[in-house]
């Protein structure tokens, strides 16, 4: 999704999700004089450092390899 072409509502939601990530300990992608997660998230968004995907754009998860009990041998 091109964030710059997204509507205001989507941009605000993306910034809010990124602010939550920052509050939970994510490392900021830019240097900012602000210490507020919301302000940093908006600056990252404006600088183009935040990626957002619609559900249709998400890549397929990697396939899980399940082992049978016979295949599991601990030596």
For residue range 41-74, what is the model confidence (pLDDT) as tens digits?
A: 999 999 999 888 877 887 777 787 766 665 555 5
Report domain extents, the chain.
3-55
CB 28 within 8 A of CB 1: no
CATH number of 3-55: 3.90.940.10
* More confident site: 15 or 3: 15
Q: What average pLDDT is seen over the chain?
A: 84
CA–CA separation, 26 vs 32, rounded Å? 14
CB 34 within 8 A of CB 22: no
Taking the model in full, what pTM does it have?
Answer: 0.69
CA distances from 36 to 23, 41, 53, 54, 55 (A): 9, 9, 25, 27, 29
**DSSP H stretches of helix in the chain:** 8-23, 37-47
């Amino acid at each position: 999704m091109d964030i710059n072409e997204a509507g205001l509502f989507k941009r605000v939601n993306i910034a809010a999700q990124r602010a939550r990530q920052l509050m939970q300990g994510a490392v900021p992608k830019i240097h900012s004089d602000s210490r507020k997660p919301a302000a940093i998230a908006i600056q990252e968004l404006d600088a183009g450092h935040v990626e957002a995907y619609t559900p249709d754009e998400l890549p397929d998860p990697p396939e899980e390899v399940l082992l049978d009990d016979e295949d599991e041998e601990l030596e």
